[in-house]
Amino acid sequence: MMLTRPRRPLTISNFHSKSITSYAPKPVNSDDDDEKETQFIDTLINIVRGRRSWKAALNDARLSTTRTLKPHHVEKVLIRTLDDSRQFGLVLELYHEVINTGTLPDIYIFTAAMRSLCELKDFVRAKEMIHYAELNGCVLNVVIYNVLIHGLCKSQKVFEAVEIKNSLMKRGLKADVVTYCTLVLGLCKVQEFEIGVRLINEMIELGFVPSEAALSGLVEGLRRKGKIVDAFDLVNEVGRVGMLPNLYVYNALINSLCKQEKFDEAEFLFNKMGQGCLCPNDVTYSILIDSFCRRGEMDTAVSFLGKMADAGIKATIYPYNSLISGHCKLENLSMAQSFFDEMIDKGLAPNVITYTSLISGYCSEGELHKAFKLYHEMTGKGIAANTYTFTALISGLCRANKLTEAMTLFNEMVEQSIMPNEVTYNVIIEGHCKEGNITKAFELFDEMIGKGLVPDTYTYRSLITGLCIAGRVSEAKEFVDGLHREHHKLNEMCYSALLHGFCKEGRLKDALGACHEMVERGVNLDLVCYAVLIDGSLKQHDTKKYFSLLKEMHDQGLRPDCVIYTSMIDASSKSGNLKKAFKLWDIMLDEECVPNVVTYTALIDGFYKAGFTDTAELIFKQMLASSSLPNQITYGCFLDHLTKEGNMEKAMQLHNVMVEGLLANTVTYNILIHGFCRMGKFQEVTELLGGMMENGILPDCITYSTIIYEYCRRGNLHEALRLWDLMLNKGLQPDTLAYNFLIYGCCVRGELNKAFELRDDMVRRGLKPNQVTNNALVCGTCSK
């Protein structure tokens, strides 16, 4: 509809300039006339809005054929339809014309004008209009106030809106459900959630049921603000009157409860869904399945996948990713692979998260061939590996001592523009530290910082440990002090690594000094630190400090753990004080501290060496009855005892059991070889060397040194030299003891030139001849 009337600005001075007192009101129509009037206007509005045709309207028997279109009909239609098309200025002009004619507008016109003023954010005029209507005796209802409240809330003038609501009672009106819900949504916009909760409670007391939108907005607001418990309480309270938030908000709340480990509340909400009109969807089930998987409750997670299927909800990739990841973390790779196969059978395509979970699982178990097979399968399908995929593979390679391959993959990752994160650098730095390549580790540390990544305590601990392993404990201390000066926070793990380094070198005093500094810097000693210090004091035979540390632990409210008890039992056993060792054992059990394989082994070793074979075997039987299974060291104690007794037949039987159980290693083979060498049974020694190779166990320097010594002792220098060359050809580096054995053999047989050649070769390899070396050479020279 085209209007040719020019628009005029509406100012406050002329908004209600004409009084209606000079206008004689029309006689009041009957109820029947009012109904026909309303029907006539509604019909006209529907025609203007395109919802009805003129022809259909004229044939409507309910409309009077004598009714004619009058100016006030046009004004009402214009007011209500122009508002639809957001012609707010024009609505106000028409309202102004109605006032100028001396006609008091009805509630519909006032409401349309109110909405226009609110949309134009002219709240001063909006309030003036209400005042004008009230002065002129117009009976207003709560709707017009709700329009004003909505406008104020929309413009974030929420507290003005609350004042309007509070003033309704003075005007003889009562706030309705729309009033409250509008205010609640407005309060959510300005983050005033606590006031919103109070209004919801007030609504419920008045018998109103909040709308889904109001409840959803408030619950989501509380959740995002971190007030998860308040959001849960609100849902629980409003649920009693039969209202729940929408599914998106409900799922988000369940997810937040799970993340805060409020699992009972999350499950309560899930169960409540079944009682109401809200049905769980795939997202709901996925959230709960993921929660169960993170807690290690895999059976429950699988049962929920079944419930999902029973409800007719098609599973997506997300619950399968959770199940695969959960089983991998529990080292149940067969089940993880089973779910991987199942999801493919159901037509679900694995994504990078699916593959990375399985790759990480296989790497953790040392099955690198399977991990890389999955990696190539993934990339072959066009799925790009991400930082986490590469980090898992690099970590697996480092664990397998394949640092060269790990660095190759690290460089490949960078070439593909996939940025390593802190974890990637931590893994590769730790790998170099374990290899003793501290220089490269610190280069990577500097590179990490240069890329804007922030090292953490894991990074620092690896570097401190690496320096200590390399015998550079003083440098490790300087590194720790430097980090402190630069205000980097270190934790107990970092300091325990430094303490272990000092104690390993017998520098107990320096370790205790570092402890004092550690406490001054706000880091308290934990059980690990005390365990390191107690072990250090025991090895230094510092009884006074040992008891002092135990008392200090007690004063700190800490009780010795299995590691500390094991250190004390081991020290007592090695010193021959088996009575004290057994007393500590009894105290340990009384304290409900469960012995582990190391504890049992320390006690067994002590009793065997003291000649109490029956007691040692009794402890071994107790060990088998417990949850602790013997390891290579435990079996090594028995092997060592049997070989020293010359009972090689029984020793071999025991070792064969170890081979079958994959417990045999280089050390256990060395014990047997030593036993046979002492008996001069070189044929059995040769067979053992062959067996080692067949079982994938490589001889070390000690293996060859033991045999070489026995050949030299028996005067068979030719075989000794043959084995020496074989050892060198295998890339093994002889130690000082190995050189001394062969130099002694050469001197005894009068091969002084060869003896001095070996001495020179020893020096070239960076080894220092000791007193034993010199004595052998002097004796050999004199005897010649």
pLDDT digits (tens, 9 = 90+) for 384-441: 999 999 999 999 999 998 999 999 999 999 999 999 999 999 999 999 999 889 999 9
Say if residue 24's pLDDT is above 70: no
> 257, 266 in Cβ contact below 8 A?
yes
pLDDT of residue 55: 55
Q: Cβ atoms within 10 A of the Cβ of 714, count?
A: 14
Question: Crossing angle, helix 543-555 and helix 527-539, to 10 degrees?
Answer: 160
pLDDT at res. 213: 92
pLDDT in tens, 25-56: 344 445 566 666 677 767 766 765 555 555 55
Task: Give CA–CA dist 174/176, Å, rounded.
Answer: 6
Closest by CA position to 637, among listed 603, 592, 591: 603
Name the residue with higher pLDDT: 273 or 446: 446
Q: Using the CB atoms, write b or e for 385-419: b if 16+ within 10 Å.
A: beebbbbbbbbbbbbeebbebbbebbeebeeeebe
Whether residue 619 is predicted with pLDDT greater than 90 in this model: the reply is: no
Where residue 226 falls (left for φ over 0; alpha for ψ -120 to 50; beta otherwise) is left
Distance CA 648, CA 633 (A): 18
Instruction: Provide the Cα torsion 477, 479, 482, 486; round to 10°.
Output: -130
Ordered alpha helix ranges (H), 177-227: 177-189, 193-205, 212-224
Structure confidence at residue 353 (pLDDT) = 96
pLDDT tens for 360-372 read 999 999 999 999 9
Estimate the crossing angle of helix 403-415 against helix 387-399, to 10 degrees: 170
Per-residue 3-state assignment (H helix, E strand, C coil) for 592-612: CCCCCHHHHHHHHHHHHHCCC
Structure tokens at 217: 């907005």
The pLDDT of residue 163 is 93
User: For residue 762, what are the contacts with CB-CB under 8 A and spacing of at least 6?
Assistant: 734, 736, 739, 769, 773
* Threshold 0.75, pTM exceeds: no
pLDDT at 65: 46
Mean pLDDT check: name the lowest of 259-268, 289-298, 512-521, 695-704: 695-704
User: Does residue 91 have a pLDDT over 90?
Assistant: no
Classify each residue of 63-90 as buried b or exposed e, where b means 16 or more C-beta atoms within 10 Å of its C-beta: eeeeeeeeebeebbbbbbbbbeeebbeb
In this prediction, residue 49 carries a pLDDT of: 57
In this prediction, residue 784 has a pLDDT band, given cuts at 50, 70 and 90, of: low
Q: Which of 285-294, 506-515, 732-741 has the lowest mean pLDDT?
A: 732-741
What average pLDDT does range 1-12 have in this prediction?
34
pLDDT digits 0-9 by tens, 141-151: 888 899 999 99
Q: State yes or no: pLDDT of 198 exceeds 90.
A: yes
Most confident among 120-124, 376-380, 598-602, 646-650 (mean pLDDT): 376-380
Can you give the pLDDT at residue 48? 54
Confidence grade of residue 86 (pLDDT, cut at 50, 70, 90): low
Kindly report, residue by residue over 745-783, the tens digit of the pLDDT.
Answer: 888 888 888 888 888 888 888 888 888 888 888 876 776
Tell me the average pLDDT of the chain: 85
One-letter amino acid at 680 equals: G
What share of the chain has pLDDT > 70, as a percent? Answer: 88
Contact 742, 721 (CB under 8 A): yes
- The token pair at 20 is 């209606």
Contacts for 308 with CB less than 8 Å, ≥ 6 apart? 282, 285, 289, 315, 319
pLDDT band at 235 (very low <50, low <70, confident <90, very high): very high
pLDDT of residue 21: 36
**Conformational region of residue 261, where left means phi above 0, alpha means psi within -120 to 50, and beta covers everything else:** left
Instruction: State residue 749's pLDDT score.
Output: 82
Lowest mean pLDDT among 293-297, 390-394, 430-434, 563-567: 563-567
User: Quick check: 115 pLDDT over 90?
Assistant: no
CA distance linking residue 171 with residue 390, whole number of Å: 70
Which of the 8 DSSP states describes residue 68?
-
pLDDT band at 92 (very low <50, low <70, confident <90, very high): confident
Dist. CA 734–CA 703, nearest whole Å: 11
Find out whether 272 and 239 touch, Cβ atoms under 8 Å.
Answer: yes
Q: What is the DSSP string of 151-185?
A: HHHHTT-HHHHHHHHHHTGGGT----HHHHHHHHH
Return the residue matching tokens 């013997």. Answer: 630
pLDDT over 70 at 75, yes or no: no
Give yes or no for residue 304 having a pLDDT over 90: yes
What is the per-residue pLDDT for 74? 55
pLDDT given at position 771: 87
CB 438 within 8 A of CB 467: yes
Q: What percent of the chain has pLDDT over 90?
A: 45
pLDDT at 4 over 60: no
Identity of the highest mean pLDDT range in 81-85, 149-153, 601-605 = 149-153
Over residues 322-341, mean pLDDT: 95
| pLDDT tens-digit map of 628-677 | 788 888 888 888 888 888 888 888 888 888 888 777 888 888 888 888 88
